[in-house]
Structure 1
Amino acid sequence: MGTTAPAGNGNDTGKQKTGSLFKVSPYMVIPSRVGGFSLFLKQDETYVLYAEKGELFTDEHKERLSRLGVDHLYVRAEDYRRYADYLHDNLLELLDDETIPVRERARAWNDATVSLAREAFETSLPKSMDKRGFARIRSLIASSLRFLARDDALKELSRFIAEGSELYKHGIGVMVLTVSVLSSYVRDDADMLVAVGMGAMLHDIGKLELPGELFTRRRDTLSQAELDMIRSHPALGVGICSSLPLPQETLQCILFHHERENGMGYPSGASGAMLPSYVKVIALCNEYDGLVRGAAGRKALTPFEALTRIKSQRGAYDTELLKRLIATLSKAQLA
């Protein structure tokens, strides 16, 4: 401790920053974990080195921060990726630690989810998508905390991440695509985008209630009873989330994300005008992300192959919304 670092003008990392440093919570310092980044304290207009990169965090670190009444620590912008990796590695421990205030645990979830969303945004969407596009995603995730910054919600998020890590990453990918497509024609309904974004993130949470091997086997090896179990996961998801104060649109997205334009989906077989537009978007983006991700034990397809597969399912998806998805992806590498 005691080294002073000047504030600079770093690149945008998507974090709240002062100069070239961004704020992190002191609760993120977990004893017995090595930080791949340096930590700084702010004193007046200078930044004092608190912990060196690679230093083992101890109970003494945590106790000292508590005694000092520190509200924020700072990490250099160039260490953002290392901090994000540290946060991902320790997120479950943070979410499950009830000695940490709910607000700080929710903040950890927010930061980790923003990082995953950034990866999905940069991987799935054209390089020409401007910073405002990702700023919209980041704002949506932050707004979700109005509904998710509760003990019971954080417990379900913790279980989802622990038991269904790939499902959660798939949900983030679907959320990024869904919000990007919806934003091409929904201009002034931020509350709806937040609700649908949460529905996209949580759409597969019901799968946690079923044996995981059902979703990795080939469909032609499943019995009718097993297929019926798979088809129950949207309703199971709504059951898990029903005790949380989620918007109706969120629950509709979870329940109807496997419905189809031609009525051949499940669980209700609803079709066409019976389905809200945002449900149709999430159903389409769910299918696309699953195909390019290689979900459910399938070989991952290229974006071009995935769109070709979707187009071949005549009548299953709204053609105008499919055009919007293609337009959103049009400048990406589709070969």
Structure 2
Amino acid sequence: MGNIPSAGNGAHNGKHDGKGDGRGMVKVSPFMVIPSRVGGFSLYLKQGDRLVLYAEKGELFTEEHKQRLTLLGVDHLYVRAADYDQFTRYVQDNILEILDDEAIPVTERARVWSDATTSLAREAFDRSLPAPVDKRRFQRIRKLIADSLRFLSRDDALKELARFIRDGEETFHHGVGVMVLTVTTLCSFMKEDSDLLVAVGMGAILHDIGKLELPPDLFTRKFDTLSRADKDLVKSHPALGVGVCSALPLPQETLQCILFHHEREDGLGYPSGSTGPMLPSYVKVLILCNEYDNLTRPRNGRRLTPFEALARIKAMRSAFDMDMLRRLIEVLARADLTS
């Protein structure tokens, strides 16, 4: 990346991409170029109606390179569509640095969170709901994540999201997995473009954020082996999560999802002991999908198959809403995951 182009010339002997009209290329933000990082993708910039190769795949990005992009007033860079997966991994690997960099506009940092979360959702979708589930369902999830930015495009919200990813990466991934299952199940009886769906999707992603306020080892030990005091601490994480999020401009439905995700139909859940009639239908779906994702998520080499997980959930009939379980089974059956 030694030859950084000026506004009037190209990089690397002025080589032009063969598809200078933008076909086969994807727009990316110049703010995603992080000094002292190597990108596994080539970068292009637009000059007139042509795309000019700006940085070869595998080159080290530099501070000078980033400053020059700013001086040039570059609004967008481009990567080949074939390299976009590499770019996505680069963003995921560096997301904490991006979210913490206050020199990057809030809207750009929020978009990075959205793109990285969408990529994780794609992985969760492929894991939990593989073909033949139609791609339209994933487009709903992509739109939901994008719509959530109207609540999360703030410095304080992005700082909490960065902390969530930094201190609870596996918990964050679990939240995204629960969101995919919850939203897909809810769409079987709820209007797809509703604000409620966005609120519940955010609640699903953030439902375990309260765990960050407690010692991590509490959640690596079997609950039955904990002392009474430690059990009480574990049971406090939903309320702690609401406390963490209370200063953010989140809908009430999002906070309800965080607070009630460990309640049960029979009133034996926590923290409030609410029974089924007291719980909104979207919370009941979240409770169920949280249990299913926990059972099927690989942890310490242990993972139940979908059939085994559903059998275990069915055996706990008093804990879950059976109508919502039927809806989840229908979703999984369409993905050929129930046998």
Give TM-score scaled by structure 2 length. Answer: 0.93
In 2, Cα distance between equivalents of 1:298 and 1:191:
38
Which of 12, 15, 36 is the equivalent residue of 1:3?
15
| SS across alignment from 1:31 | coil
Shift of 1:8: 8.5
Counterpart in the other structure of 1:204: 208
Residue 189 of structure 1: how far off its partner (Å)? 5.1
CA deviation digits over 1:53-101, x for unaligned, max 9?
A: 0010001110110111000011111112111110111000000011111
Identity %: 67
Verify the 8 A CA contact 1:126 1:329 in the aligned structure 2. Answer: no
State the aligned residue count.
326
User: Which of 132, 136, 147 is the aligned partner of 2:140?
Assistant: 136
Deviations 1:99-133 (A, max 9, x none): 11111111111111110000001111030222211
For 2:316, the equivalent position in structure 1 comes to 313
What is the CA deviation profile of residues 31-67 of structure 1, one whole-angstrom value per residue up to 9, with x for unaligned ones?
0100000111122332111111001000111011011
> Does the 8 A contact of 1:30 with 1:57 survive in 2?
yes
Question: Residue 304 of structure 2 aligns with which residue?
Answer: 301
1:267 aligns with 2:271: yes
Instruction: Supply the AA of the counterpart residue of 1:327.
Output: E
How far residue 219 of structure 1 moved from its aligned partner, in angstroms, is 2.0
Corresponding residue to 2:82 among 69, 78, 83: 78
Partner of 2:7: none
For 2:23, which of 19, 22, 42 is the aligned residue? 19
Q: Which amino acid aligns with 1:84?
A: T
Answer with 166-175 or 130-139: which moved more: 130-139
Superposed CA RMSD: 1.5
1:282-302 deviation digits (Å, cap 9, x = unpaired): 00000000111145x682111
Question: Would the aligned equivalents of 1:29 and 1:62 in 2 still touch at CA under 8 Å?
Answer: yes
Asked if 2 retains the 8 angstrom alpha-carbon contact of 1:302 and 1:334, the reply is no
192, 197, 200: which is aligned to 1:193? Answer: 197
What's 1:12 paired with?
none
Which structure is larger by alpha-carbon Rg, 1 or 2?
2
Which deviates further from its counterpart, 198-207 or 266-275? 266-275
**TM-score normalized with structure 1 length:** 0.94
CA distance in 2, matches of 1:294, 1:280: 24
* Alpha carbons 1:124, 1:332 under 8 Å: kept: no
Pick the aligned partner of 1:145 from 142, 149, 155: 149
The 5 A counterparts of 1:244-259 are 244-259=248-263
